[in-house]
Structure 1
């Protein structure tokens, strides 16, 4: 197998025993030689069965400023979050 995918037998042995991961190129050659898809080799289901694959990212359509604010808010303690919430309630939404 090592010869068929173009790597040293020692390297293939380490891959087989789980002591290292293949490069992308080696992984692709391995899948080709074994006649399996990368998804099969990784134990993944087809993409259409994965619910989150068809959903937009959580910050889809949000401004950079809002994403930055959310990152900062996630680092706050409970009391600081309450204060931030009270402050935010004082602002009128833009029309």
Structure 2
């Protein structure tokens, strides 16, 4: 039963992630977990904690009953609100890389960006 549930949840999560145009790294970052751990979740090798399940529902904009394989008559309001505009995958990767920089590296990057903007 547990294995079947984890496979169902993983398949639904993967389909919702692809519909949302997100990578596994994007979802993992928003959930606060390692990309490898999220990959195991999608492959049906593990079940998330209750808190991670809630975060997954919010991130993928899908009700928990859908993730768990239950049918629902009406979706909650937060599912129906349109998601904000998504950045290109390259921009998301750049943002993740910038978040890991030290203060001195950020100053250098800011100077480089300013120089590039003057050239454009």
Structure label with greater radius of gyration: 1
Larger relative helix fraction: 2
TM-score bucket (shorter structure):
0.3 to 0.5
Higher normalized contact order (CA 8 Å, seq sep 6+, divided by chain length): 2
TM-score (norm 2): 0.37
